[in-house]
Amino acid sequence: MKIGIRKFFYGDYGEEKNSAAESTASRETINEWPLWEVFIRSKQGLDHKHAGSLHAADAAMAMENARDVYTRRNEGVSIWIVESKYIHASNPDDADALFDPANDKIYRHPSFYDLPDEVKHM
């Protein structure tokens, strides 16, 4: 019988094309701690950036593990963690539709506009 447990991976948007190891992913994973994504702010004034992932039973443990695993050498001053299953990612197959239209809108860039040399500070 197929049990209704769905395993999520980083960047997973839940489509069927997953191949290969998918078949092996069901074994003994029921007791596996959930996966979390870790984001680190390397210093004040910068954005949090994805650093990696880890398994933890709950948010508190994920935070402690993130601190031990990803900030042993002054890599950060602040940590965000989020359970991986809450991340929604765009589908690589949609990349053309999503991102190609930007290519033919060159008028969005300042270099599109020719101005006389006399115009300063623009």
Separation CA 91–CA 88 (nearest Å): 9
The answer to whether residue 17 forms part of the interface with other proteins (CB under 8 A) is yes
Size, binding site for other proteins by CB under 8 A: 36
The answer to whether residue 91 forms part of the interface with other proteins (CB under 8 A) is yes
Work out the end-to-end distance of the chain between its first and last CA atoms, rounded to an integer number of angstroms: 67
Q: Which of 31, 44, 74, 103 binds other proteins (CB under 8 A)?
A: 31
Contacts (CB under 8 A) with other proteins, residues 48-87: 52-55, 57-58, 61, 68-69, 72-73
Strand arrangement of the beta sheet that strand 78-83 belongs to = 48-55, 35-41, 78-83
Measured at the CA of 5, the angle between CA 12 and CA 93, to 5 degrees, comes to 20
Binding site for other proteins (CB under 8 A): 7, 9-13, 17-22, 24-25, 27-29, 31-33, 35, 52-55, 57-58, 61, 68-69, 72-73, 89, 91-93
